[in-house]
């Protein structure tokens, strides 16, 4: 009886520590960059989280990261072997709890990249967005970058981001290095501005924005042999080529075909990809740009 009571008391005392350890996975970050692009290519806020594991963290590393539940989930989870290296799609699990959803993934390298779109009311000229960094990791250097929406005025950002520059896309950026953050220390980022134009920045500036993944990847359909034929300019050559292609197609091993919306193949290297992948896990190409 005494042992059971002691266990119960110990569990109650440890509950805050266990809750704090639910996110982050206990890893330490050398650097973390939070980028927020309001109304870039959707009437929403694009949030990009770029992290670098500290040198003492052993690989592969189990990582858990919370993002707003209002986002509906990430649009990209990826990793890279260098800070500006090629991004490769990363498998992840997710679970929802209250205002957050937790993403869990295993990093084979030190750099990770997560993107999601969050709700941003655009029904009136006066617009504001608030993102809360939940403090899932201890970070040596935390920085924030905010992209100013095209055709917006009266832009105010908290915390104050003093550095301002113009990107190659013609958009203005505000940024600041905020120093070290302990695990559990939250950072609210608030953006307010006035904008009468309902178009996104990409529409206003006519920027090249990657097509949705669902449009960029096409799964082959059974019985569609017309894609195998090349126009050779003559009826006789076309018939001969068609017959040769048909017999070759019938004899070659065929990959299994996923149902519509279930995935497809990378158009660059032919590697199988699944619905929702932003990067090919074999060659690293951005699938939305194929």
Per residue in 130-160, pLDDT (tens digit) is 999 999 999 999 999 999 999 999 999 999 9
40 and 173 co-located in one domain: yes
Full strand arrangement of the beta sheet holding 93-97: 61-68, 100-107, 93-97
Class of residue 64 by CB neighbours under 10 A (exposed 0-12, middle 13-18, buried 19+): buried
Tokens 């009437």: give the residue.
43
> In sequence order, what E strands does 108-252 have?
111-118, 126-133, 138-147, 153-158, 163-166, 172-177, 187-194
248 and 191 co-located in one domain: no
pLDDT of res. 234: 47
17 is a domain residue:
no
221 and 191 co-located in one domain: no
Q: Which two tokens stand for residue 226?
A: 């017309």
pLDDT of res. 18: 40
89 and 195 co-located in one domain: yes
- Domain of residue 165 covers 26-205
Q: Compute the distance between CA of residue 90 and CA of residue 226 in angstroms, rounded to an integer.
A: 34
Q: Which of 40-54, 190-204, 208-222 has the lowest mean pLDDT?
A: 208-222
179 and 219 co-located in one domain: no
33-51 residues labelled b (16+ CB within 10 A) or e (exposed): bbbbbbbbebbbbbbbbbb
Q: Compute the distance between CA of residue 49 and CA of residue 175 in angstroms, rounded to an integer.
A: 14
Q: Which two tokens stand for residue 68?
A: 């707003």
199 and 248 co-located in one domain: no
Please give the residue that has the higher pLDDT: either 178 or 228.
178
219 and 281 co-located in one domain: yes
Peptide bond into 159 cis (omega under 30): yes
| In the predicted structure, residue 257 carries a pLDDT above the cut 90 | no
188 and 62 co-located in one domain: yes
């Amino acid at each position: 009886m005494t042992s059971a009571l002691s266990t119960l008391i110990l569990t109650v005392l440890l509950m805050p520590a266990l809750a704090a350890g639910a996110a982050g996975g206990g890893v330490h970050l050398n650097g973390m960059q939070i980028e927020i692009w309001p109304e870039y290519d959707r009437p929403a806020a694009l949030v990009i989280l770029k992290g670098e594991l500290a040198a003492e963290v052993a690989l592969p590393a189990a990582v858990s990261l919370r993002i707003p539940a209002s986002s509906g989930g990430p649009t990209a989870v990826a990793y890279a072997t260098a800070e500006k290296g090629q991004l490769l799609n990363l498998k992840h699990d997710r679970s929802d709890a209250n205002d957050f959803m937790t993403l869990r993934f295993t990093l084979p390298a030190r750099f990770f990249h997560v993107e999601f779109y969050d709700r941003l009311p655009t029904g009136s000229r006066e617009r504001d967005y608030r993102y809360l960094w939940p403090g899932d990791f201890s970070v040596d250097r935390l920085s924030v970058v905010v992209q100013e929406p095209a055709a917006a005025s009266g832009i105010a950002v908290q915390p104050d981001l003093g550095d301002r520059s113009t990107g190659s896309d013609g958009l203005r950026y505000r940024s600041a290095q905020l120093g070290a953050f302990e695990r559990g220390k939250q950072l609210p980022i608030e953006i307010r501005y006035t904008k009468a134009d309902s178009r996104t920045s990409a529409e206003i500036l006519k920027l090249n924005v990657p097509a949705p993944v669902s449009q960029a990847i096409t799964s082959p359909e059974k019985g569609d042999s017309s894609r195998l034929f090349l126009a050779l300019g003559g009826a006789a050559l076309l018939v001969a080529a068609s017959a040769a292609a048909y017999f070759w197609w019938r004899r070659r091993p065929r990959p299994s075909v996923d149902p519509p919306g279930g995935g497809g193949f990378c158009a660059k290297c032919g590697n199988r990809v699944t619905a929702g992948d932003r990067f090919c896990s074999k060659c690293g190409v951005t699938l939305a740009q194929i």
